[in-house]
Amino acid sequence: MRLPLLTRPLHHPEVAATMNPRLRHIKPFFAMEIMELAQELEAAGHSVMHLELGEPDFPCPACVQEAATRAIREGRAPYTHSLGIPALREEICRRYGERYGVQLQPDQVLVTSGTSAGLLLALSVLVAPGQEVLLSDPHYACYPNFVHEVGGVPRCLPVAARVNFQFDIDALRAHLRRDTAALLINSPANPTGCVTPPELLAQLAKLPVPLIADEIYHGLVYEGPCRSILEFTEEAFVLNGFSKLFAMPGWRLGFLIAPPRSMRDLRTLQQNLFISAGSVAQQAALAALRHAGEDVARMVRTYDERRRYLLAALPDLGFSIAGEPRGAFYVFARIDAFSQDSLAFARELLVEAGVAVAPGIDFGSCGEGHLRFSYANSLENLREAMRRLKTYLARRQPTSPGVAS
Ligand SMILES: Cc1ncc(COP(=O)(O)O)c(C=O)c1O
């Protein structure tokens, strides 16, 4: 079915009209805008296959639903300790002990309203105005925006597909300055699905700069090891959460593990900015850690099946896989055969083929020339998406933009 051409720009001009000049640096999240456009198309009666967002398609585990229902029935929804309920912090320590052999104390754990809030808090204690934060390019779309929001300057270092989008340690050293505020790393990574090898983690841990390690995709690894940065240094700030592994994105629950000397500042910030994470969500998360092991194992097996399917199907359509996606639920693929402009191409595929994907430009300038395919969708839907792409790409004129811009 041919969908109507849409002419609305994806960039909202009103962003530039706000009063806070810092917001001029903060870019729209195009994958979200693609999703919003997709929703408009769906509201107009069109069918869209959603491969644009990193949102698990599974229901959250039954034990989570039960724990939350129990907490609601008890009728109380108090503020909790600003660091989070003690049982949950203890369970997080136990998990890191079991999985990674690291000894943590519950008062090093701060339960947050999503990993996103943990990142805001970590950057807030580490970054003074004007200081640089080093990031890879490509990176999770929101990272530079968080850095700008705390008054810092994101410094993006290109990382190449041929080395699985990993940092070159010498290039990193060359970019370190006396006042570099932090190095932000992410493994398994969004948008590439690549996993940082232990040898590189060990080298990163020795750099003379505070490390923030976003481990939100830990557990979603299908090949090879995935080690925590805490196995290599006690000094890192580690972000993690329940949105991905436990299929709980809307519960808005995450945590930050930090060196003891930073906890006073983090706690003060949490008390002021958020008071505490939600009490019902914390009970739900506690149940997830204690009882959701089998649900998680089943989800991981299913993601892996979908990953293998996409790794075979995308090259058949003319996309070339960038790096070795061994974790998270993304495949990052080059689009040279079709377009140089990932945003225009993503919009074209949505409007013309009814398939929503994330444009590579969302993830930094080195992400241009790629699309990110999320396999947080059923195998049946992935198959339908590939069928639609095949049909559309076969009839597409190579030079035709295919959609009004
Ligand atoms: C790398 C990365 N970090 C953090 C987040 C945000 O996670 P949360 O839902 O826990 O705020 C995401 C969400 O997609 C992500 O991909």
Q: What is the pLDDT of residues 8-37, one digit of tens each?
A: 555 555 555 568 888 888 888 899 999 999
Query: CATH number for the domain including 389?
Result: 3.90.1150.10
In a domain, 179, yes or no: yes
Q: At which of 292, 322, 347 does a domain end? A: 292
Please calculate the CA angle 63-68-71 and round it to the nearest 5 degrees.
125
Domain total in the chain: 2
* pLDDT of 224 higher than 90: no
Domain span including residue 259:
62-292
Q: Is the minimum distance from the CB of 191 to ligand 1 under 6 angstroms?
A: no
Same-domain status, 79 and 46: no
- Identify the DSSP state of 327: B
Residues ≥6 apart with Cβ < 8 Å to 90: 106
pLDDT of residue 27: 81
* pLDDT of 404 higher than 50: no
Q: Is the minimum distance from the CB of 216 to ligand 1 under 6 angstroms?
A: yes
Q: Is the minimum distance from the CB of 186 to ligand 1 under 6 angstroms?
A: yes
pLDDT of residue 399: 54
Probe residue for ligand 1, chosen from 53, 185, 190 as the CB with the greatest number of ligand atoms within 8 Å: 190
In a domain, 22, yes or no: yes
49-51 vs 355-359, strand pairing mode: parallel
Query: CATH number for the domain including 125?
Result: 3.40.640.10
In a domain, 149, yes or no: yes
In a domain, 7, yes or no: no
Q: How far does the centroid of ligand 1 lie from the alpha carbon of residue 162, in Å?
A: 25
Phi, psi of 49 (to 5 degrees): -95, 125
Q: At which of 260, 292, 324 does a domain end? A: 292
Same-domain status, 274 and 319: no
Same-domain status, 52 and 72: no
Q: Is the minimum distance from the CB of 360 to ligand 1 under 6 angstroms?
A: no
- Identify the DSSP state of 221: B
Q: How far does the centroid of ligand 1 lie from the alpha carbon of residue 110, in Å?
A: 16
In a domain, 5, yes or no: no
Same-domain status, 179 and 284: yes
Question: What are the pLDDT digits (tens) for 370-396?
Answer: 999 999 999 999 999 999 999 999 999
Please give the average per-residue pLDDT across 204-214, as a whole number.
97
Same-domain status, 225 and 321: no
Tokens coding 375: 């396999």
Same-domain status, 52 and 92: no
Same-domain status, 324 and 274: no
Q: What is the pTM of this model?
A: 0.93
Q: Which atom of ligand 1 is least distant from the CA of 117? A: 11
Same-domain status, 255 and 389: no
Q: Which atom of ligand 1 is least distant from the CA of 53? A: 14
Same-domain status, 271 and 302: no
More confident of the two residues 17 and 158: 158
* pLDDT of 240 higher than 80: yes
In a domain, 6, yes or no: no
Count CB-CB contacts under 10 A for residue 231: 17
* pLDDT of 282 higher than 80: yes
Q: Is the minimum distance from the CB of 254 to ligand 1 under 6 angstroms?
A: yes
Q: Is the minimum distance from the CB of 115 to ligand 1 under 6 angstroms?
A: yes
Distances (CA, A) of 82 to 110, 268, 317, 336: 8, 9, 50, 49
Q: If we measure between CA atoms, which residue out of 185, 143, 180, 146 comes closest to residue 165? A: 185
Q: How far does the centroid of ligand 1 lie from the alpha carbon of residue 356, in Å?
A: 19
| Confidence band of 76 (pLDDT split at 50, 70, 90) | confident
Probe residue for ligand 1, chosen from 35, 142, 362 as the CB with the greatest number of ligand atoms within 8 Å: 142
Same-domain status, 77 and 31: no
Same-domain status, 124 and 112: yes
End-to-end CA distance of the chain: 20
Q: How far does the centroid of ligand 1 lie from the alpha carbon of residue 139, in Å?
A: 12
Q: How far does the centroid of ligand 1 lie from the alpha carbon of residue 327, in Å?
A: 14
pLDDT of residue 225: 82
In a domain, 2, yes or no: no
Name which residue sits closest to atom 16 of ligand 1, judged by CA.
190
Please give the average per-residue pLDDT across 134-139, as a whole number.
98
Question: What are the pLDDT digits (tens) for 308-327?
Answer: 999 999 999 999 999 999 99
Q: Which atom of ligand 1 is least distant from the CA of 115? A: 10
Q: Is the dihedral of CA 384, 386, 391, 395 positive or negative?
A: positive
Same-domain status, 282 and 355: no
**Could you tell me what percent of the chain has a pLDDT over 70?**
94
Q: At which of 251, 266, 292 does a domain end? A: 292
In a domain, 4, yes or no: no
pLDDT of residue 403: 41
